[in-house]
Structure 1
Amino acid sequence: MMRVLILMLSCFVSGGTVRVSTTCTPEACLTLHLEEKLFEKASEDCINNGGNLVTMRNENELQSIKSVLLAAGEYNILNSKVWIGLALQKRNCTDFTEELNGFRWTSAPTDSKYSNWKKKPLSTCTEKRCVSISLVDGLKWSDGSCRDSAFYMCKFLFKGMCKPILLEEPGDVKYNVPFLFKPLTPNERLAMLPHGTLAKIQCGGSEDAKTFDSICVNNNALFGWTTERFCARNESCKRKNGGCDHHCFETAGAGVRCECREGYYLKDDKVSCALRNNCENSPCESECIPTATGFSCACAEGFHLTEDNVSCVDIDECQQRTCGEHRCQNTPGSYFCECKPGFRLVAGKCEDVDECTEFSSLVQFSCQQGCLNSQGSFSCYCHAGYSSSSNDSRKCIDIDECVSRPCEDICLNTLGSFKCSCRENFILAKNGISCVPDPTEKIQITQSPDHRGEFITKLSQLPVTSGPSTVNTPPLNKTNTKADSSKRKESFLGSYWILVLKQVVYVCFRFLP
């Protein structure tokens, strides 16, 4: 369809270093300016010439823009940035719940449901951001600083177009289109010329030949030139078909006469043919399409023809579960989805919003420590050593591990953890919890006001001699020698265990409250 709409090949205007590529459709003309400018300067240039920076509100406009860029391929602009009329104004915030993410078109209508972002734009409320495209990115939208320079494209809307003037005899025509300040040169040939174009016609090809003007005007929705004939008509149909679009007939003494094929009629210039408007007084409810043999009815998008091929009825898209599990609201010719909380509308569909990444800077979505996204929602979690606040699940409170007495002796609570320590003359064991005697310190037993000190004192007075307590020595013989050796052994073992017992009693009493 877009190939049918593109009615003109590119033409370039060389004015120093300025190069302009122009493409016209039946409704508008697009100009690609191969001169890098700031966004504001580019927008002003388009407005001063009667247009605006180009928009991309639907797929058709994208294809039109692509055609202009491809036509300028000889200038190697594959990687070049081109401004389009989409910007986020200063003091306006990026809004990821919208298709345009808070950006707005610089010409009306400023909003649209269509979007073509390459990636999410920068989240800001204090900087003006402007959008550019490039062929290498497939015309995806990229936001950037408006202070950068780039090529730009203007769009000029027109009610209609006129075909170029066909001279019947040698002559010259110069066109002044509404959006250019200088006439087109002979090498700048347009397949269609916009409404309001001024044509300066010179017959005969000499400077003193007769000249006159003609303007492309709207005559009852049919666009044509104000002058009916251009220079003298050929006397023969053999040269350029007498200037006729369709059939040419030679008449005696009156030059040639033009006629049109069936289904067409002869326009006021007596040479051009236009498709007959068979849709006049048609019964079509919505749209009538003229054909060579009659007409056919069509319906606007979102409607379909009934069995009578004349009337149109609305298509209920909601019956096709277009919105999935979200609420669908049917409208005449269209529909819209009402997304559940935690989802947003993207290209007519509801998509999950990742609050953990997109809205982390907003108070209502910020987690103090960890954030976990889920379909339509999110949840906060706390790191080890912390617990969620009972009043606000987004906040984390330190856990006092010392309450559960994890240490053998002294416990010190820290943020997210704890630390154990020991009293004097003891050090922390390798497990970080238990206490063991400090091998570099000598154990001293102090008097206690209670019976523990008395008990330890008496315990220290236990005999630890290595021989019998009597002075009578039995006769020395083998039997007595063996008995004495056995007694000494028992006495030594007894002394060893008494020392061990004293140490155990001391340690036990040391930690008693």
Structure 2
Amino acid sequence: MMRILILMCCFVAGGTNRVITTCTAEACLTLHLEEKHFEKALEDCVNTGGNLVTMRNENELQSIKSVLSAAEEHNIRNSKVWIGLELLKSNCTDFTKELRGFRWTSEPTDSKYSNWNKKPLSTCTEKRCVSISLEDGLGWSDGSCRERAFYICKFRFKGMCKPIVLEKTSSVTYNVPFLDEPLNPNERLAMLPHGTWAEIQCGRSENAEYFAPVCNNINGNFGWTNSERVCARNRSCKRKNGGCDHFCFDTPGEGVRCKCREHYYLMDDNVSCALKNNCESSPCESKCIPTATGFSCTCAEGFHLAEDKVSCVDINECQQHTCGEHRCQNTPGSYFCECKPGFRLVAGKCEDVDECTEPRCQQGCLNSQGSFSCYCHAGYSSSLNDSRTCVDIDECIQRPCEDICLNTLGSFKCSCRENFILARNGISCVPVPTEKPQSTQSPDNREAFITKLGHLPVTFGPTTIKTPALNNTNSKTDSSKRKESFLESYWILVCVLGSVIPLIAIIVLMSVFVTYRLKSSRKAALKNATADNYCWVSSGLDKVQKKSSIQLND
């Protein structure tokens, strides 16, 4: 990974626009703190020679983070910032790709790197644009391109130049290509891009000299044109090393003289030192990196350096089980996976396809790794010819009803013949109740007895009370109504008993009176009888005496 050094930030105010600029070794970024539509932000970046910022790798992410972090004092942590990623109206969201069908507004339009904060909207008819924020950790979020947000422009340059070192009596103003106004003398960048021109004034007297050097490519390295004459007499090694990269020497009458360390050479500006290009005749098969003592060879991604430190050997990623249980095909510098049925390739990996998100089953669907299965709802069964299709079950074949059965989709319905109705269980049939319901034997004898009493007229004094008939046909009467009916019957029973008991008492008294009169009549008849009316009745003793005398005579 290429290491990027964030060099310096400056704040530029111009009219109502606020711009925060950061330059790296490769490019400059400008954060515009003015909310605009996506198209207007893109247009502004292009018109100044740049483009909306991209985030194709981790290095670019860190560069953007540095720009936003430098602007936190402006309370932008929760603010949305446009980046150059969009989904055109004619394209559809594609979740099998890293960019989900989106593309960058500058070349290359595609990349394998992504940093989605949330799943983008699935659409084929709406243009969508991507924004980031520090609050979301610079994660990507899609939204309507008509919304307003801050934006970051990126300006790529062929090279960068160091600032010019001058004495206090001199001054310099820089004009960078992507800003309408020059940088303030008090606002500096540690590196200035190719194409920047400087306005230099050497000295403050009437004899002051003026120079306008430009940052340009000088023999493969970038430096300031005509810099050897820029205020050379006013420089001194005591101030910032005279502007020299390595060694500085004070020369009487000529100012300073710079010199470079071993393996470096002095550039045309006479102050900058560049590493000698030791890779011009290197034997490296792939890449050569110049070092302070020579060079070193490196290989492209997917290859590693051979034992000779010059050649490159392909890495067989399939030996690392990169594709898991799926088939792996190695290629020079890369590989690809052949996914099993039920899986698809997403970002180089095989992921399960959720078939249940598609209309595969007529009723229920159950997803599994690499496959799926269909099931039917109650009252249906899978078709013999197609397991995805459900057919109705004819429940009437099993004769679930007592009388008539009618099959319906997913269920059935019972009915009864004439003079019968369907019972509460929805299956049995009972006779239609008549107008004078016959009393039936109730499990509760007390309730049955009260019911019978309710059908009889009861007299109590001059008033006749006729109890209302109790309905015993419904065995599932509400408990509160049964309690009320029982209390009513209880009081009727009390009234009945209150009438019957006195009647029984009278009958008993009359019976006692009649019996007493009969006994009195008998006693009176016996009392009126005389002695003449008596007859002799043998007591049985004479028979005994007579029998004894006979025995004596014998």
**Considering the TM-score relative to the shorter chain, is it more than 0.5?**
yes
Name the SS for the 1:74 alignment partner.
helix
2:405 corresponds to which of 390, 405, 411: 411
Segments of 5+ residues of structure 1 without an aligned counterpart are: 444-513
Structure 2 CA distance for partners of 1:338 and 1:85, relative to 1, 3 Å = farther
Within 2, Cα distance between the matches of 1:206 and 1:333?
A: 65
The residue number in structure 2 matching 1:309 is 309
- Tell me, yes or no, if the aligned pair for 2:227 and 2:269 is still in contact at 8 Å: yes
Within 2, Cα distance between the matches of 1:155 and 1:340?
A: 43
- Tell me, yes or no, if the aligned pair for 1:177 and 1:198 is still in contact at 8 Å: yes
- Aligned-pair distance for 1:208? 7.6
Name the SS for the 2:288 alignment partner.
strand
Name the SS for the 1:242 alignment partner.
helix
Name the SS for the 1:180 alignment partner.
coil
Name the SS for the 2:135 alignment partner.
helix
Within 2, Cα distance between the matches of 1:423 and 1:76?
A: 83
Structure 2 CA distance for partners of 1:87 and 1:207, relative to 1, 3 Å = farther
- Aligned-pair distance for 1:244? 2.2
Name the SS for the 2:63 alignment partner.
helix
- Aligned-pair distance for 1:305? 0.9
Within 1, Cα distance between the matches of 2:286 and 2:167?
A: 41
- Tell me, yes or no, if the aligned pair for 1:87 and 1:105 is still in contact at 8 Å: yes
The residue number in structure 1 matching 2:328 is 328
- Aligned-pair distance for 1:322? 0.7
Structure 2 CA distance for partners of 1:178 and 1:236, relative to 1, 3 Å = closer
Within 2, Cα distance between the matches of 1:391 and 1:100?
A: 42
Within 2, Cα distance between the matches of 1:236 and 1:111?
A: 51
Give the RMSD, CA atoms, in angstroms. 2.5
Q: Greater relative contact order (Cα 8 A, min sep 6): structure 1 or 2?
A: 1
Name the SS for the 2:171 alignment partner.
strand
The residue number in structure 2 matching 1:108 is 107
Name the SS for the 2:227 alignment partner.
coil
- Tell me, yes or no, if the aligned pair for 2:93 and 2:122 is still in contact at 8 Å: yes
Within 2, Cα distance between the matches of 1:155 and 1:75?
A: 21
2:395 is the counterpart of 1:401: yes
Structure 2 CA distance for partners of 1:397 and 1:63, relative to 1, 3 Å = farther
Name the SS for the 1:292 alignment partner.
coil
The residue number in structure 1 matching 2:466 is none
- Aligned-pair distance for 1:222? 0.9
2:426 corresponds to which of 432, 438, 459: 432
Within 2, Cα distance between the matches of 1:352 and 1:206?
A: 78
Cα deviation 1:283-341 (Å, max 9, x = unaligned): 22222222222222222222111111111112111121111122323233222333334
- Tell me, yes or no, if the aligned pair for 2:165 and 2:242 is still in contact at 8 Å: no
2:421 is the counterpart of 1:422: no
- Matched residues, percent identical? 80
Structure 2 CA distance for partners of 1:46 and 1:242, relative to 1, 3 Å = closer
- Aligned-pair distance for 1:371? 2.3
2:300 is the counterpart of 1:300: yes
Structure 2 CA distance for partners of 1:237 and 1:67, relative to 1, 3 Å = closer
Number of residues of Structure 1 aligned to a counterpart in Structure 2: 436
Name the SS for the 2:43 alignment partner.
helix
The residue number in structure 2 matching 1:233 is 233
Query: TM-score normalised to the size of structure 1?
Result: 0.79
Letter in 1 for 2:250: E
1:364-513 superposed matches below 5 A: 365-389=359-383, 393-440=387-434
Structure 2 CA distance for partners of 1:191 and 1:207, relative to 1, 3 Å = farther
Within 1, Cα distance between the matches of 2:192 and 2:236?
A: 28
Within 1, Cα distance between the matches of 2:245 and 2:259?
A: 8
Letter in 2 for 1:99: E
- Aligned-pair distance for 1:406? 2.3
The residue number in structure 1 matching 2:243 is 243
1:200-279 superposed matches below 5 A: 200-205=199-204, 209-229=208-228, 230-234=230-234, 236-279=236-279
Structure 2 CA distance for partners of 1:176 and 1:400, relative to 1, 3 Å = farther
Within 2, Cα distance between the matches of 1:31 and 1:391?
A: 66
- Aligned-pair distance for 1:268? 0.8
Cα deviation 1:128-182 (Å, max 9, x = unaligned): 1111111221211111111211111122222211111222563222222222222
Structure 2 CA distance for partners of 1:433 and 1:104, relative to 1, 3 Å = same
Within 2, Cα distance between the matches of 1:425 and 1:205?
A: 125
Name the SS for the 1:412 alignment partner.
strand
- Tell me, yes or no, if the aligned pair for 1:244 and 1:271 is still in contact at 8 Å: yes
